[in-house]
Amino acid sequence: MTYTAAALLGLAGAVAVDLLVLRTRVLLSLVFWATYPIVLVFQLLSNGVLTGRGVVRYAPEAITGLRVAYAPVEDLLFGFALVLFTLSLWVWTGRRRRSARP
């Protein structure tokens, strides 16, 4: 499996968990889209250091080759999926705790 396929699979999984499994709908929230650029800036900074300086390298045949500030697009997809999945679990857990209170 290529890194591209894994990134797309991770993204699809995170979206499915958010919208279909947990039904938290974080992805549809304006707050999510208003604050995600903050995460993206720091992801690009850290990824730029790691990939720009050659600390992390990718096999050219495993990625699309498209990059944003040194970061392969696949890294950005994985980061997005990770943030979405984590926030979905966070919201879901918070809702369960609130509903469990007497």
CA 74 to chain centre: 10
pLDDT at 101 over 80: no
pLDDT at 79 over 90: yes
Strand residues in 9-69 grouped as ranges (E):
67-68
| Cβ–Cβ under 8 Å, residues 58 and 72 | yes
Q: What is the pLDDT of residues 64-76, one digit of tens each?
A: 999 998 889 999 9
Q: Residue type for 41, please?
A: V
pLDDT at 102 over 80: no
Q: Which two tokens stand for residue 96?
A: 């369960």
Q: Residue type for 69, please?
A: A
| Cβ–Cβ under 8 Å, residues 18 and 84 | yes
Q: Which two tokens stand for residue 40?
A: 């993206």
pLDDT for the residue numbered 98: 81
The mean of the pLDDT values for the chain is 93
The pTM (predicted TM-score) of the whole model is 0.88
pLDDT at 97 over 90: no
Those residues whose C-beta lies under 8 Å from the C-beta of residue 34, and which sit 6 or more positions away, are: none
